[in-house]
Amino acid sequence: MAEIFDIGLAWDWEFDRDFIFGVEEQCTALKLSTFRIEPHNIESVTKLVKSKKIFFRTFLDRASDSTDSFIPLAKFLTKSQTHIYNRYELVDYAKDKANMHLALMGEGVQVPYSIIVSPYNTTKELELSLTELAHLGRPFIIKPANTTGGGLGVVLGAETLKEILETRLHHKNDTYLLQETVQPKILGDNIAWFRTFYAFGEIILSWWDHRTHIYRVLTKQEERKHKLQKLRSIMATTHKICRLDFFSSEIALDNSGKFIAVDYVNEICDMRPQSKYFDGIPNEIISKIQFHCAKQTRIQIKNAN
pLDDT of residue 177: 85
pLDDT value for 209: 95
The CATH number corresponding to 113-180 among 2.102.10.10, 3.40.50.20, 3.30.465.10, 3.30.1490.20 equals 3.30.1490.20
Residue 148 is predicted with a pLDDT of: 54
Note the pLDDT of residue 149.
53
| Cβ-contact 203, 249 below 8 angstroms | no
Annotated domain spans of the chain: 3-86, 87-111+182-266, 113-180
Distances (CA, A) of 4 to 33, 48, 299: 8, 12, 17
* 82 DSSP 8-state letter: P
CATH topology of domain 3-86: Rossmann fold (3.40.50)
Q: What's the pLDDT at 131?
A: 78
Question: pLDDT, tens digit, for every residue of 137-174?
Answer: 888 888 888 865 555 568 887 878 888 888 888 888 88
Predicted pLDDT of residue 199: 98
Q: Give pTM, 2 decimals.
A: 0.90
Give dist(CA 173, CA 21) in Å, integer.
38
Considering the four listed CATH numbers 2.40.240.20, 3.40.50.300, 3.50.50.60, 3.30.470.20, the one that applies to the domain covering 87-111+182-266 is: 3.30.470.20
- What would the pLDDT profile of 277-286 be if each residue is shown by its tens digit? 999 999 999 9
What residue ranges of the chain have pLDDT lower than 70?
147-153
- The whole-angstrom separation of Cα 245 and Cα 138 is 36
- Contact criterion met (CB below 8 Å) for 205 and 218: yes
CA angle in degrees (0–180, nearest 5) for 50-52-58: 85
Closest to 22 (Cα-Cα) out of 296, 247, 200, 286: 286
* Cα–Cα distance, 20 to 168 (Å, whole number): 37
**pLDDT on residue 151:** 55
